[in-house]
Amino acid sequence: MTTQTLTQEEFNALLTARPQTTGASDSGLGSPFLRMLATAGRDLLSQLMTEEQYSRGEIVFKEGDLGDAMYIIWSGRAAVVKDDFQSPTILGYRGVGEIIGEMALLEDQPRSASIVALESLRALKIRREDFEKLLASNPTMGLSILGTLSARLRAADNARKSSSQTETHLIRQVSELQTEKQQLLELERLRQDTIDLIVHDLRHPISSIFGAIKILEMVLPEDILEANKQLLNIANANCDNLQLMVDSLLDGARMEAGDTRLKLSTIDLPNLIKNAISKTGIITDMENISVAFTPPKEVPAIAADEEKLSRVMSNLLNNAIKYTPAGGQVTVTIESQNGQVQVSINDTGPGILPKDRERIFERFAQLSGDQPRVTGFGLGLAFCRLAIETHGGKIWVEDGENDIGSRFAFTLPVSAPSKENQNQ
């Protein structure tokens, strides 16, 4: 098929059109397709992918075209365009590491929008027949894709419910305002700042970073990958930390708005803690910080939301490591008593003043006095408090062992929380 190029007038209309949304797609950081392709095998991928190049203003594919291929953007930037090019509607933008055209390929349906290169664009193309070969050689990939599509539908439904709950929560707050105009303006400013932080300042850059790393891992020669293994590990670890912060902020906002549903399952708590510790390996090795954890022989089973509890542990461990000086130690312990399981994380940092120990779990809290400052917005600890309390537990901070550092602790009931908190 011959590549089509927009006229200068059409391209100018595209550049001046206002996008309908600033949201990043899930085809970068959260893309299961990119994750699966990265693990499919380099030899197989080299046979399946072909490189395509597009100049500024060229159309990668048009709305209504047959969905016969998908593309991974290697370099450059493209616009997702709806309707005609004389008065286009911009649905969003796609950059390095993002996938375009995968949904039409999976559905075997015409393209629902056009893709136009905004600058010189290089893309890795995978045709339908090659993608089917990939599925045939990796049977589990088909199930993973079905799971992904189901997750997208569930996420869309949850977003709709969360939006409705947030609106109800805001209406209730506004009705209680004594100085309505002033506080409404402040609430709107905070809401908009939060949306901008999540959607524009965090989500899209993280997505691009992740995509670029995965492409490098797919296309670089093995010897170069091995020589730069530590750098790639550091990049992946920090990308995970950024995503942890975004997820904590989003889930914290939902729980504050009243969305307290949990996806409960029986949790192997020692194994969950070990997995969280393993994710800190890059940072602790660089800072020469040791993390000690010796689980007791028997730990009662608990019913919890594994994904949320894993993020609680990651946030608390990252917080302890951040404040522990080089050569220090972080110690994790588990105790069970009075029908509860208690987890403690003890660091050897500067400690926290008693007057700050309650408000440190509030969003955007800053320590007072001469307390050492480490950059951050306190989003992780705020999420931890909300998540633990939603599970029917309690979280607090106190002096560390032998009055050195801080000891963060939380409890969880051995029995499950009430049914209204469970995800039906």
Are residues 390 and 363 in contact, defined by beta-carbon separation less than 8 angstroms? no
- CA–CA distance, 35 with 159 (Å, rounded to integer): 24
- 288-332: pLDDT as tens digits: 999 999 999 888 889 998 988 998 999 899 889 988 998 999 999
Residue 374 is predicted with a pLDDT of 46
- CA–CA distance, 203 with 246 (Å, rounded to integer): 7
Residue 217 is predicted with a pLDDT of 79
Residue 63 is predicted with a pLDDT of 92
Work out whether strand 290-293 and strand 329-337 pair parallel, antiparallel, or are unpaired.
parallel
- Specify the CATH superfamily of domain 264-421: Histidine kinase-like ATPase, C-terminal domain (3.30.565.10)
* Domain boundaries of the chain, sorted by first residue: 8-139, 160-256, 264-421
Residue 256 is predicted with a pLDDT of 66
CATH 3.30.300.30 is held by the domain 8-139: no
Residue 120 is predicted with a pLDDT of 94
Give the strands of the sheet with 329-337, arranged side by side.
290-293, 329-337, 340-346, 406-413, 394-399
State the amino acid at position 379 in one-letter form. L
In the chain, which residues have pLDDT < 50? 22-24, 26-30, 370, 372-377, 420, 424
Residue 229 is predicted with a pLDDT of 75
DSSP class of residue 262 equals B
Tally of CA atoms within 13 A in the half-sphere of 197 that contains its CB: 17
pTM: 0.53
Burial class, 62, CB count within 10 angstroms (exposed 0-12 / middle 13-18 / buried 19+): middle
